[in-house]
Amino acid sequence: MADIELISYEPATGAILWRNLIGDAAEEVAIARSGWAGWAARPLAFRIETMRRFANVVRQRADAFVDLIARETGKPLWEARTEVDTVIAKVDISVTAYAERTAQRRLDAPMGSRMALRHKPHGVLAVLGPYNFPAHLPNGHIVPALLAGNAVVFKPSEKTPAVGAFLVDCYRAAGVPPECIRLLIGGPAQGKALAADPGIDGLLFTGSATTGLALNRAFADKPEKILALEMGGNNPIIVWDTPDLHTAAVLVVQSAFTTAGQRCTAARRLIVQDRLYDPLIETLDRMIGRIIVGEPHADPAPFMGPVIDNDVADQLTESFLALLMKGGRPIRHLERPIEGRPFLMPAMIDVTGMADRPDVELFGPILQVIKASDFDEAIAEANDTRYGLSAALISQTPALYDRFWSNARAGIVNWNRPTNGASSAAPFGGIGWSGNHRPSAFYAADYCAYPVVSNEAESARASIGIGLRDG
């Protein structure tokens, strides 16, 4: 049978960017299994130094990395540069997190013994990466996994394999043994094969709820394997009792349309106080009309690039039309300014009167607007989702934020800040269909190693003081 290639295209131009043969999951896992024990046996200080060399390699290659991310995802250069900066910063953050979350400790113990708490790596961890942050998000799994002593088999999204290959080359250039960081090129079939391979000890996933739920079912009879899922959100942003509608509009635009809406923390639903509805929508409409949508290297720099490909653009167009058919009132239509390319203009649609609103993550620049008459109704609307990743309140009233924080069902609850832009120095995760209670970012250390508690004494001393016959 002829070898099959995976080809990556630039979404902004349609040009071929990269091509490579599709890999074999079983072969990559077997290689990783052969090498992880030696990596785990190296001192922690050695692994930390290797990761710091990795950060330096990325620094040295930053310009090329930025350009590649921009070309393969379509995101503007300024945003691709932010992603590379985050990849570099992840190393020091992960070292701190490892020391805080999984450090060796001595505990009190009776009778002259000692109690030790240490952590061991799982072994071989599979990492499935997404296309929206093809370097930052898998790196957020891989760096803490390698620090803990695991080997990693990384399958990047089939939509962004070139960035995945570049990232793996940086690890290897820094001195991570090649057998301990494996690259699996392929599509859904290779991802399924990797997840099902008996040689992995766990899987770390960032992506859609559909895939995450399938993985959850597949691992249901495998309690011995760690599974960490980050699955996105149908995130609300509430605007209530605020006089500064310009700032509110800026925060809404940043929440809904950064990365062309392709962030798991992007605001999908704007819930607005009825008395603020008309002036806020007018302000938003003017601001959205000023947004530059263009290719990554354009001058002036665009705020948004295209979505990842034409299939996604077509699906989003169909979703917007479905909202219209269900009774949504368009405020700004989802327009495609360049025929044949996946550029989309930001869209807004009022769904206040729509019955049975679909609880889905529309992964693109579509903002649904809901008018509310009281704050309890607004919170109820915010929580009307199976997801629970991010939620934000724009308000000048601290008491409202206290109520919002207490009642919002989300792992990230923000006040007068966007729904997105989470810090890697804090845990990142949600509830419901947004994850399986394995938060990533600073808490990634928790799922990359398991605790081992030891009760230790240098000499054996024991007696039985009751329940024995005289001997």
pLDDT of residue 4: 92
Structure tokens at 44: 């922690």
Query: Which residue among 10, 72, 158, 230 is the active-site one?
Result: 230
- 55-76 tens-digit pLDDT: 999 999 999 999 999 999 999 9
Residue 331 burial by Cβ neighbours in a 10 Å radius (0-12, 13-18, 19+): middle
Q: What is the mean pLDDT of the chain?
A: 96
pLDDT of residue 103: 85
To 10 degrees, what angle do helices 62-73 and 161-173 make? 160
Residue 427 preceded by cis peptide, ω within 30: no
Any idea how long the chain is? 471
pLDDT of residue 266: 98
Q: Are 181 and 210 in contact (CB under 8 A)?
A: no
Q: Are 368 and 266 in contact (CB under 8 A)?
A: no
To the query of whether residue 27 is one of the catalytic residues in this protein, the response is: no
**One-letter identity of residue 229:** L
Q: Average pLDDT in the 127-150 region?
A: 98
- 337-394 tens-digit pLDDT: 999 999 999 999 999 999 889 999 999 999 999 999 999 999 999 999 999 999 999 9
Contacts by residues 347-351 (CB-CB < 8 Å, ≥ 24 positions apart): 347/320, 348/270, 348/281, 348/284, 348/285, 348/288, 349/320, 349/323, 349/324, 351/323, 351/326, 351/327
Q: What DSSP character marks residue 302?
A: P
Taking the whole predicted model, whether its pTM rises above 0.75 is answered as: yes
Structure tokens at 232: 């996105």
Structure tokens at 413: 């609850």
Query: Which residue among 10, 28, 170, 264 is the active-site one?
Result: 264
pLDDT of residue 281: 98
Specify the CATH superfamily of domain 5-231+435-456.
Aldehyde Dehydrogenase; Chain A, domain 1 (3.40.605.10)
Distance CA 8, CA 15 (A): 9
pLDDT of residue 355: 87
- 404-446 tens-digit pLDDT: 999 999 999 999 999 999 899 999 999 999 999 999 999 999 9
To the query of whether residue 180 is one of the catalytic residues in this protein, the response is: no
- 279-296 tens-digit pLDDT: 999 999 999 999 999 999
CATH number of the domain at 235-415, please? 3.40.309.10
> How many Cα atoms sit within 13 Å of 262 on the Cβ side?
25
Instruction: Give the DSSP per-residue string, 273-301.
Output: EHHHHHHHHHHHHHHHHT--B--TT-SSP
- 118-136 tens-digit pLDDT: 999 999 999 999 999 999 9
| Per-residue pLDDT band at 1 (split at 50, 70, 90) | very low
Return the domain boundaries, the chain. Answer: 5-231+435-456, 235-415
| Per-residue pLDDT band at 180 (split at 50, 70, 90) | very high
Spatial CA neighbour of 168 closest among 151, 187, 193: 151
